[in-house]
């Protein structure tokens, strides 16, 4: 199954995906979402555990995301009041005796909560996670995470990931300096890393001296649904971290989020101003990219030049996430 004739790629690569920001999974709330062509429900138990389950009650098919309630560790079906625990098993029925039907079990998803996001594992064959998502740990203070969700748009997670290997588009699409490859990409199982060099950050601000802001960009991918960028200045301790999560909805549309942090400056007011500026600039750049992504065609054999070998390396690396017969 392909997403479309425009993007002839398997629609749901295997791996970890963002299904909600941690801040949105509040105690007592029940979120209804569609990802990977399936309806799911996301909630947090009274003890604080995030849970992702299939949306439809196995009793008579009610959608738990519309009227479902949280009682302690259980989610309660709005149709007949049957209760299901975090393991998906029916924990109690308000009528009918103590013999719970063996089919009264919800599919549960493998979940991790880290770095201010809730991740769910998708595998087309139903296998458990084969690797874990690394945490973003910092050696110096970083600002709290700023997060923004974009409107859903037509694309594929790979098309967004390819930006991590495409330094040339920055000049054309984002009106910044052409980023130069510092070395060929490093491929390590589900992880991809490539380093670029640039003489400017693309950040204009009175608190930052553009003459001192040359540096390196480490761009990478953790699995099929997360690309990230880390800027480190050459002659300053200033650093930025941006994370771009993309999750397929139905084989045609994707949801996407950007999360941004910067290293703290000496002046707290300056830190807030620069962090806001970096976030706004990052959102603006991705919105420029979305104009391209939602209309471009994926070419299986693109006419890349000699400088663009990392794009083809990226493609070969990404194929590991596609289910093969």
133-153 tens-digit pLDDT: 999 988 778 999 999 999 999
Confirm whether 21-119 and 146-321 share one CATH topology: no
- Residues 6+ positions from 111 with CB-CB distance below 8 Å: 50, 51, 52, 118, 119, 120, 121
- Residues 6+ positions from 205 with CB-CB distance below 8 Å: 273, 274, 277
Max CA separation in the chain (angstroms): 75
Written as tens digits, the pLDDT of the chain (325 aa) is: 555 678 999 999 999 999 999 999 999 899 999 999 999 999 999 999 999 999 999 999 999 999 999 999 999 999 999 999 999 999 999 999 989 999 999 999 999 999 999 999 999 999 999 999 999 988 778 999 999 999 999 999 999 999 888 888 888 898 776 677 777 889 999 999 988 877 655 554 444 554 445 677 888 999 999 999 988 877 667 889 999 999 999 999 999 999 999 999 889 999 999 999 999 999 999 999 999 999 999 999 999 998 888 899 999 999 999 997 5
Query: What pLDDT does 193 receive?
Result: 93
Q: Render pLDDT for 77-132 as a digit per residue (tens, 0 to 9).
A: 999 999 999 999 999 999 999 899 999 999 999 999 999 999 999 999 999 999 99
Q: Please give the CATH topology (third level) of the domain spanning 146-321.
A: Naphthalene 1,2-dioxygenase Alpha Subunit; Chain A, domain 1 (3.90.380)
Q: Extract the tokens encoding 95.
A: 């009528």
Instruction: Please tell me the distance from the alpha carbon of residue 226 to that of residue 221, in angstroms, as a whole number.
Output: 6
Q: Extract the tokens encoding 309.
A: 């070998």
Question: What are the boundaries of each domain within the chain?
Answer: 21-119, 146-321
Residue with tokens 């919800």: 106
Instruction: Please tell me the distance from the alpha carbon of residue 247 to that of residue 38, in angstroms, as a whole number.
Output: 12
Q: Is 285 helix (H, G, I), strand (E, B) or coil?
A: helix
Residues β-bridged to residue 120: 17, 111
Instruction: Please tell me the distance from the alpha carbon of residue 252 to that of residue 7, in angstroms, as a whole number.
Output: 9
Instruction: Please tell me the distance from the alpha carbon of residue 31 to that of residue 128, in angstroms, as a whole number.
Output: 23
Q: Distance of alpha carbon 36 from its chain centroid, rounded?
A: 13
CA atoms within 13 A on the CB side of 155: 24
Strands 146-149 and 253-262: antiparallel
Query: What pLDDT does 298 receive?
Result: 94
Architecture field, domain 21-119: 3-layer Sandwich (2.102)
Query: What pLDDT does 140 receive?
Result: 77
Q: Extract the tokens encoding 113.
A: 């909560």
Angstrom distances, CA of residue 142 to CA of 219, 231, 272, 296: 18, 13, 11, 36
CA atoms within 13 A on the CB side of 51: 30
Instruction: Please tell me the distance from the alpha carbon of residue 46 to that of residue 64, in angstroms, as a whole number.
Output: 17
Query: What pLDDT does 200 receive?
Result: 58
Query: What pLDDT does 5 receive?
Result: 76
Query: What pLDDT does 205 receive?
Result: 47
């Amino acid at each position: 199954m392909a997403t479309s004739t425009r993007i002839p790629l398997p629609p749901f690569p295997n791996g970890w995906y963002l299904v909600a920001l941690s801040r949105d999974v509040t105690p007592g709330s029940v979120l209804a979402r569609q990802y990977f062509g399936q309806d799911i429900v996301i909630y947090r138990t009274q003890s604080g555990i995030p849970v992702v389950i299939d949306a439809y009650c196995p009793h008579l098919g009610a959608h738990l995301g519309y009227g479902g309630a949280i009682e302690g560790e259980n989610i309660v079906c709005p149709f007949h009041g049957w209760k299901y625990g975090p393991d998906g098993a029916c924990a109690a029925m308000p009528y009918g005796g103590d013999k719970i039907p063996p089919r009264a079990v919800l599919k549960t998803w493998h979940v991790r909560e880290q770095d201010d996001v809730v991740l769910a594992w998708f595998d087309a064959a139903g296998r458990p996670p084969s690797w874990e998502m690394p945490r973003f740990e910092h050696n110096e203070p970083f600002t709290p995470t700023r997060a923004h969700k974009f409107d859903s748009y037509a694309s594929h997670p790979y098309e967004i990931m390819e930006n991590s290997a495409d330094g040339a588009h920055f000049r054309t699409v984002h009106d910044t300096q052409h980023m130069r490859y510092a070395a060929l990409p490093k491929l390590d199982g589900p992880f991809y890393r490539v380093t670029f060099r640039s003489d400017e950050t693309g950040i204009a601000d009175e608190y930052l001296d553009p003459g001192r802001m040359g540096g390196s960009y480490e761009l990478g991918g953790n699995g099929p649904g997360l690309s990230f960028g880390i800027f480190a200045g050459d002659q300053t301790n200033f650093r930025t971290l941006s994370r771009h999560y993309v999750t397929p909805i139905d084989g045609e549309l994707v949801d996407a989020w950007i999360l941004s942090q910067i290293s703290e400056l000496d002046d707290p007011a300056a830190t807030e101003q620069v962090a806001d500026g970096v976030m706004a600039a990052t959102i603006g750049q991705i919105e420029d990219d979305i104009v391209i992504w939602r209309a471009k065609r994926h070419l299986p054999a693109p006419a890349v030049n000699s400088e663009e070998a990392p794009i083809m390396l990226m493609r070969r690396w990404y194929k590991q996430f596609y289910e093969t017969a």
